Each structure stands twice: as structure tokens, then as C-alpha cells.
Amino acid sequence: MAIKIRIPTPLRKLTNGADEVMAEGGNITEVIEDLEKNYPGLKERICESDGKLRRFVNIYLNDEDIRFKKNMETELKDSDEVSIIPAIAGGL
């Protein structure tokens, strides 16, 4: 099934400037693998070498953080939208 993925500005150089791409997969892990196949280098920017999500990257499924669902094993359906959001830190 095709899932719409929103790509943050820092990663758009890997998607030829596209802010949204389509990916196939039944869960977040499968979608990331499909993204890597079509956009090499994307997975290493959002995942650790063991496949876990990097600490400063958030993935949202329909506006809900996957860490509060089944994390990388969160199931997906055709109408879902996934957003990759880099964490932003700041201060005074």
C-alpha cells in the first residue's frame, strides 16, 4: 500500500527537493526500508545502525507520535500520512 510521507527541509536534498513522497509498507520499518531503496541515504539520517529511530528525529502518523504507539512496528493503512520531523532545540 502507498503511504504519503512528508519530508523535512534538511532531508529534501535526498528526495530531489520533494516535500512529499510515496512509500510502500505495512508498518514504519517497512516504509523506511522502501524510502531507503528509492532515496539512498535517507535511512541513515533518521535511524541508528540497529534500525531504531534516532533520538532527535520524530515520526508522526496522522499527527500522533509513533513512540506512543508501537514505535517502528506501528501499522499503516492506505489513508495514513507519515511526517518525519527533526527535533528542534533552543534556549537562551
For residue range 75-90, what is the model confidence (pLDDT) as tens digits? Answer: 999 889 999 999 876 6
> What is the CB neighbour count within 10 angstroms for residue 66?
18
- Tell me: pLDDT of 92 over 70: no
- pLDDT tens for each residue of 37-54: 999 999 999 999 999 999
pLDDT of residue 87: 84
Distance CA 21, CA 62 (A): 15
17 φψ region: left (φ > 0), alpha (ψ -120 to 50), beta (else): left
Per-residue cell: 11? 532531508
| pTM metric for this prediction | 0.91
* Amino acid letter for position 77: K
Q: Which amino acid is at 59?
A: I
- Hey, what domains does the chain have and what are their CATH numbers? 2-86 (3.10.20.30)
